[in-house]
Structures are given as structure tokens and as C-alpha cells.
A and B are shown apart, each in its own frame.
Chain A
Amino acid sequence: MKFLKSPLAFASTLALACLAFQPGAAFAQKGETVKIAWIDPLSGLMAPIGQNQLKSFQYMAELFNKNNPAGVKFEIVPFDNKVSPAESLNGLKSAIDQNIRYVTQGDGSGAAGALVDAINKNNERNPGKEVLFMNYAAVDPDLTNSKCSYWHFRLDADTSMKMEALTTFIKDQKDIHKVYIIGQNYAHGVQVAKYAKADLARKRPDIQIVGEDLHPLAKVTDFAPYVAKIKASGADTIITGNWGSDLSLLVKAANEAGLNVKFFTYYANNSGTPTSLGAGAAGRIYFVGYGHPNMGGPIRKLQDDFKAKFNDDFYVADIYTELQLLSEAMAKAKSTDPVKVAAALEGMRLKSYNGDIEMRKTDHQLQQDLWISVWQKTDAKNPYSVENTGYTFAPVAHYDAYVASTPTSCQMKRPS
């Protein structure tokens, strides 16, 4: 044991060895600040949701800044788009003027579509100033099919995937016979209705669609007339893509009119809605998503920290996935240049809080597990009290990524 004679020499050898093998130690991107333009609503009816997401982004950036594979610092720069496509483009323009190369958006596929178009043009016209778009919640399937773009990556499961999961669950619910579809009158509501009808016809042809309604987005204050109509139709189940106040008020009106039907929703966990669900809705409200409030594991600690800090729920968990993917891709590309990062993101596989995920190369649609959970009282297995209501969403079904995966028609144009 001659070489251990001098502890100092040993320590310095070890340090040298570590330095040589530590990945990224000498990489160019280390210590760089990556600004991400967050373009979503901070005012208007959907402001509560936007504020929650912004807080979640800032919180996640803080977390990743302490430690991430690329050694970069994330900085979130918010732009209020008032859920409007036109305002989103203004936000994008300001972001590009400020040399921000990463854009993230989620609330509303209309705004997402406008951003994709504008970013495609920008990247074509301004080589060396490309912008990358991380879409964390706009779920119109067109964005990864007919309108797919090399510069767009979607982290949420799209409408067709979520409907695939929902209808796989509905298939085995023998007490469902008559379904009513109600949605908001824009791209998302229309797509939900389309896929609901197609998937149910395939998996449960005996189910009858007894009615279909589209109502104005974020304008209806009184859903009682719709509920009376649903009641008159004899439906035992409602499928809705509604979010924000449109879901809260719908469920509330249904509770009051004694419409005791099942609800299959996309967004029952969004800010404000759990508060309006109440005890009357327990056991009847389902939501499909890439997670649920009782996942446990490392995400549980983040939820608790977030609640302690903001007294709010951390539920847009794919923000975690987004920063995880970005930092891994930056480490892999050894750069923060969006062109190299986009190439590194394609086909990237990771283990995230909700299991194994893959950024599908063909259309840039993240493949991940989906869960269906139901509104119920918190219990020992499902302890997380959503919006401090004493109720929670407890998982009732878990689908592996391949179950809900849907094919794509995307003909991706890659930069040569």
C-alpha cells in the first residue's frame, strides 16, 4: 500500500480522476443562462390557470438550477397572451427581440397553432436565430399531424391519445349506455367530440350518443339550460373537454339539478375546478392525464414544497418533464443552441416522474403513460388534498404509453 502514503496525493489524484470523468465538466454550455419565454394567459377568465403554470415554471426552474445534467441556468420570462393567438404572436416577437431562443406555451391550441406558424417562418428566414417551441398543454392532434413542425415538441398527451385511454376505460364500464358530448366551441372541443364518437363507435358500438353541444368558450355563467337538455336526453354519462370555469360551472349546475351522471373530463384537476366539485360529485368525476395528485415518489415532495410556498397545487407536472428533457438534450448536444438541442431531443428516452418517456421522432409527440383518476375523499392511499378540499383524484386505471399511443400522419420537414 505504498501509494496511500500521502493522503494529500491520493486526494488530488482522485479529484483529477473525477474531473476527467465527470460528464459535462468542460462543456461549453455549462453555466450559461437559458431564457424561456412563457406565453400564456395572466389576465382574463383563464388567468388563474396561467398564474398557476407560471408559478410552477418558476418553481421548477429554481429546482433545476440547483442541479441539472447540462449545468445551465433556466430563466422564465413571462408574456401575457390573454389566450389570444394574436397576442401570442406579439409575445413571440418581443421574445425574439430579446434574443430568447426557447418558447413555451400550453393554454389553447389556437394560440399554439399561431406560434408554430410564426416560428416556422422565423427559423426559415433567420438562420442562426432559430427558436424552439415546447408545447406543454395544447392538445389539438393537428399540431403533431397535418401541421407538425420540426421546431415544435409536445409534452402533454394529445386529444386522440387521451380519448384512446378514456374509451379503453369506458369499454369495460357496463353501466354506460347513453353518452352526451359537451364542449367548448373551438378546435379543442370539436376534436374531443370527433375522437369520442370515432373511438366509442370502434370500442363500444352499443353506446348511443344521445346529444352533442358546443357552447362559447369561457362565456357561459349558467349551465342549467344545458343540464336540463342533457337530463331530457336521458344520458348516463357525459364526455367533455371543458376546462376552467366552463367545467366548474357545468359540474355545479349538474349537481344542483340532480343530474347524477358520470363525467369523463380532460381537465377536472385545473385551478378552480376542484373547489367547485364538492362532495356531491364524489365518485362520478373522472379525469385523464399523464399523472394524478397521488403519484408519490419524488414528485410528492415537489407538490408539498409547492403547496407550502404558494398554497396552490402543482398539477402541470409535464413542466418537470420539459426542463428535464431540455437539460438532458443540452447536455447531450453540449450546447444551448436550439438547432443542436432540437436534434438531441428527437427520439430522446428518459425516466421521468411518471415512468419511461420517449419524444417520438416522427412527430415530436411525447409518449408516456396515462392515468384515469376519480374524485373522492382523501384516504390513506390517496392522501393529497386537492385545493385543500379534503378530496382528491384517486387513480382507477393506468395505461402504458403504447396503449394510448396513436399513429401520426406527420411528414416532418427537417432542416437540411
Chain B
Amino acid sequence: MDQAVINILNGLSSGLLLFMLSSGLTLIFSMMGVLNFAHAGFYMLGAYVGYALSRVVGFWPALLFAPFVVGLLGAVFERVCLRRVHKFGHVPELLITFGLSYLILEVVQLIWGRAPVAFDPPAVLAQPAFTLVQSAAAGLSVVLGHASAATCAHAVCSTFPATRAFMMLVALLMLLALWLLLAHTRVGLVIQAALTHPEMAEALGHNVPRVFMLVFGAGCALAGLAGVIGGTTFVTEPAMAAAVGSILFVVVVVGGTGSLVGAFVGSLLIGLLQTVPLTVDKSLVDAAAAVGWTVAPDGLAYPLMKLTLAQVAPILPYLLLVLILIFRPRGLFGTRDD
């Protein structure tokens, strides 16, 4: 029971981290009409810039400034490169973000090297957020922070790291802020208008290119924020962009490109799909046995059926990607059919 709770929390927290990335990506997609291949690169950049800043000014200011720096870099990239190739169509735009992803990777490796850097969370986050105490006598209970050694002597104590709790908190705050911004402010209304009807918004006197630059910068800043948090929670290394990049596209495709709600639901879904099945050591053979059907070990389908859910877990998100593309190409909440 205690591990099931931990598992679901793990899934939700990694889903929420994905949401910090996919929300920016999906906003940029709405605007450009193409996926930003360099988005995961900005995530990595956030982690490294956060690491560099945290050594000078400490973690908390770095958490604030790193997204700002990354957002600024994103805005500059949009202004200087992306806007120029915009008129040539989607393929050059796609290619330039693709090129940028390699550029970011190489620059990061040149500056910080190829080995992981020690980007540790501050002391307050380096401890457990709460401890689940599962004892035979008293059942399941929750203790904030560490549970006392005396309690744990007679029960199983599982800690949930504060970094992950913090990750969930930041993502939820971000979701709230994003929603307030887009739905209840003038800037948000202009952005929404510029995303769906750029010509009309321009005709009404709004500087649409600047809106695009801001959205791109903001999306990158969100990725940078996710990078600082992801970098401290996991490991800050040059491969972190590639690791998160492929799964990010699954999220956006599953949720529906261009939809914030879709990005949210897709992120949580993929987050859970990445973690929960890993803990199930049951296979189709077991499932068949449960309904009274025995699969012979020499049967044709046996090698496939004997694979446990834990073994196939890493491919499940990609399986979902393929299924979604076949049966619902616009994604769960997507609005565009093209």
C-alpha cells in the first residue's frame, strides 16, 4: 500500500515536470505550427545555467534567474533566427530548431564538459517532504519530514523527497499562473488572439511578431525552470536533453498539439505510464491463468506473452504514441486536424 502511494506520487511528479516542458512546447507549436526541436535543449540549458548561477548566488536566486536567462536566450533566438526563416515556411523553421538543439548540446559540452556536474538541491530540499509509515499494528500514516527512528524501528518508513514535492508545487503554481495570464489578463487575450488569428490581431494594431517573441521566450523560460528543478532532482549532464526530448514529443502528440489542457493531461498520463507499470511483474500468461486459460510454454505466442508489464514498460509511451497517431491523429484534446 505505502509503495503504491509512493508510486503514484512518483508518476504524478514526473508527469508534472513533463508538463512544465510540454506547456511551453505546445504554446510555441500553436504559434509557429511546428514543433520546437530545441525545447529539450532549453531544458538542459536551464539546468546548466542554474548550476552555474547557483555556485555564485545560491540556489534560490538561481531558480529565479536561470529561467530568465534561458527565456532571454530563447527570445533572442526567435528574434534573430526564427523570424528570418519564418517566411520560408515550416520546414526551414523545423530545421533551424533542429540545428539549434545540436548547437546547444555542443556548446554545453564545450563549456561544462561531457561528465555530469554536481548540481545538488539546497539543504531544505535535500530531505524528505514526508514519510509514509506502514506498520502492521497502526496501518498507514503520514509524518511530515523525517519520521523518528523509534517509529521506523517497528514499521516500514518510505520517504518522499522534497525535491519531488517541490517539483509538483512549482508545476501546479505555474499551471495556475499560466491560466490566470492567458484567460484573465489583457496580454493573455492578445496572445490568444495572435495565436489563432495573427492577421486580425495585427490589423487591430497589435505587434504580433513581438507577441511571438514573448511567447517563445516564455516557453523557453518555462523549460529553463523545469531544467533547474529536473537538474537537481535527477542528474545534470549533456544527455539529459535527449533523454527527455523523445518523451516530450509523445506527450505533445498524445495530449494534442496546441492544447494546454491536452499537454496537462498528456503529461500526467505519460508520467504515470512511465512509472506505474514498471512495478508490475505480471505478464499476459498470468492474466490468462487468472481467467482459467493456460498458455503452454511451447506455444507460438508464449515468448511474447511471457513478457512482464515491467519489461515492456519503457515502450508503453511509444506504443501509445503510435496508437494515438493511428486512431486519433489530433491527440486527446487537439483542435487542429492538419
A-side residues, CB < 8 A to B, are 44-45, 47-48, 51, 211, 213-216, 218-222, 224-226, 228-229, 231-232, 245, 248-249, 252, 256-258, 271-272, 275-276, 278, 389
Query: B131 to chain A: closest CB distance in Å?
Result: 7
Nearest residue, chain A, Cβ from B121: A256
A43 to B, closest residue via Cβ: B114
User: In the complex where A228-B3, A228-B7, A232-B279 touch, is A245 in contact with B239 (Cβ < 8 A)?
Assistant: yes
How many chain B residues touch A (CB < 8 A): the figure is 40
Is the CB of B168 closer than 8 A to any CB of chain A? no
Asked if A256 contacts B7 (CB within 8 A), the reply is no
Q: Digit string of B1-29 for contact with A (CB within 8 Å is 1, else 0)?
A: 00100110011001000000000000000
Of all chain A residues, the one with the shortest Cβ separation from B10 is: A224
Please indicate the chain A residues that have their CB under 8 angstroms from the CB of B115 in the complex. Answer: 48, 51, 271-272, 275
Is B286 an interface position by the 8 A CB rule? Answer: no
Specify which chain B residues have a CB less than 8 angstroms from the CB of A278 in the assembled complex: 120
Contact yes or no, A228 B10, CB < 8 A: yes
B128: A residues at CB distance < 8 A: 256, 258
Contact A245 B237 (CB under 8 A): yes
- Name the A residues within 8 Å of B38 (CB-CB): none
Whether B234 and A249, one on each chain, are in contact in the complex, defined by CB atoms closer than 8 angstroms, is yes
Q: A221-B234, A256-B163 are in contact. Are A213 and B116 (CB under 8 A)?
A: no
Q: Is B44 an interface residue (CB 8 A)?
A: no
Q: How far is the CA of A125 from the CA of B199 in the complex (A)?
A: 70
Indicate if B135 sits at the interface (CB-CB under 8 A).
Answer: no
Bound Cα distance A236, B310 (Å): 21
B240:A221 contact, CB within 8 angstroms: yes
- Chain A: minimal CB distance from B275 (Å): 4
Q: Tell me whether B243 is interfacial, beta carbon within 8 Å.
A: yes
Instruction: Give every chain A residue within 8 A of B244 (Cβ-Cβ).
Output: 221
Contact B114 A48 (CB under 8 A): yes
Contact of B310 among A51, A213, A220 (CB under 8 A): A213
Candidates A51, A219, A225, A275; contact of B278 at CB < 8 Å = A225
**B163 contacts which chain A residues (CB < 8 A)?**
256
Specify which chain B residues have a CB less than 8 angstroms from the CB of A276 in the assembled complex.
Answer: 116, 118, 235
Contact of B279 among A219, A225, A245, A272 (CB under 8 A): A225
Q: Which of B73-81, B153-161, B170-178, B327-335 contacts A (4 or more CB under 8 A)?
A: B153-161
Q: Assuming A219-B314, A249-B234, what are 8 further A-B pairs, CB within 8 angstroms?
A: A47-B238, A48-B113, A221-B244, A222-B275, A231-B3, A258-B128, A258-B157, A275-B115
Within 8 Å by CB of B239, from A45, A214, A257, lies: A45
Q: Which of B95-141 contact A (CB under 8 A)?
A: 113-118, 120, 128, 131
| Cα-based distance from A47 to B237 in the complex (angstroms) | 11
* Partner of A222 from B159, B234, B311 at Cβ < 8 Å: B234
- Chain A residues with CB under 8 Å of B314's CB are 215-216, 219-220
- The answer to whether A272 and B159 touch (CB under 8 A), given A225-B10, A226-B278, A245-B239, is no
Q: Which of B14, B240, B311 contacts A214 (CB 8 A)?
A: B311
A247 → chain B closest CB, angstroms: 11
Could you pull out 18 A-B pairs where Cβ atoms are within 8 angstroms? A44-B239, A48-B113, A48-B115, A219-B243, A219-B314, A221-B240, A224-B6, A224-B14, A224-B275, A225-B276, A229-B278, A229-B279, A256-B164, A257-B161, A258-B131, A272-B237, A276-B116, A278-B120
Which 6 pairs from chain A and chain B are nearest by CB? Answer: A258-B159, A48-B115, A256-B161, A232-B3, A225-B278, A225-B275
Q: Which residues of A contact B274 (CB under 8 A)?
A: 222, 225
**Which residues on A sit within 8 Å (CB–CB) of B276?**
225
In the assembled complex, how far is the CB of residue A215 from the closest CB belonging to chain B, in whole angstroms?
7
**Residues in B217-255 with C-beta less than 8 Å from chain A:** 234-235, 237-240, 243-244
Contact of B158 with A231 in the complex, beta carbons under 8 Å:
yes
Q: Say whether A258 contacts B158, CB under 8 Å.
A: yes
A231 to B159, CA, bound (A): 11
A249 contacts B235, C-beta separation under 8 Å: yes
Determine the chain B residues whose CB is within 8 A of the CB of A214 once the complex forms. 311
Q: Can you name the residue of chain A whose Cβ is closest to the Cβ of B315?
A: A216
From A280, which residue of chain B is reached at the shortest CB distance? Answer: B126
Which residue of chain B lies nearest to A51 when distances are taken between CB atoms in the complex? B114
> Which one of B116, B157, B311 has the greatest number of beta carbons of chain A within 10 Å?
B116
CB distance from A14 to the nearest CB of B (A): 53
B150 CB to nearest A CB, Å: 16
Given contacts A225-B276, A256-B163, A257-B158, contact A248 B116 (CB under 8 A): yes
Contacts of B234 in A (CB 8 A): 221-222, 249, 252
**Interchain CB contact under 8 A, B116 and A48:** yes
A272-B116 contact given A44-B239, A256-B161, CB 8 Å threshold: yes
A215 CB contacts on chain B under 8 angstroms: 314
Assess A228 versus B116: contact at CB under 8 Å? Given A245-B235, A257-B158.
Answer: no
Is there contact, CB below 8 Å, between B279 and A228? yes
Q: How far is the CB of A327 from chain B (nearest CB, A)?
A: 31
**How distant is the Cα of A153 from the Cα of B7 in the complex, in angstroms?**
46
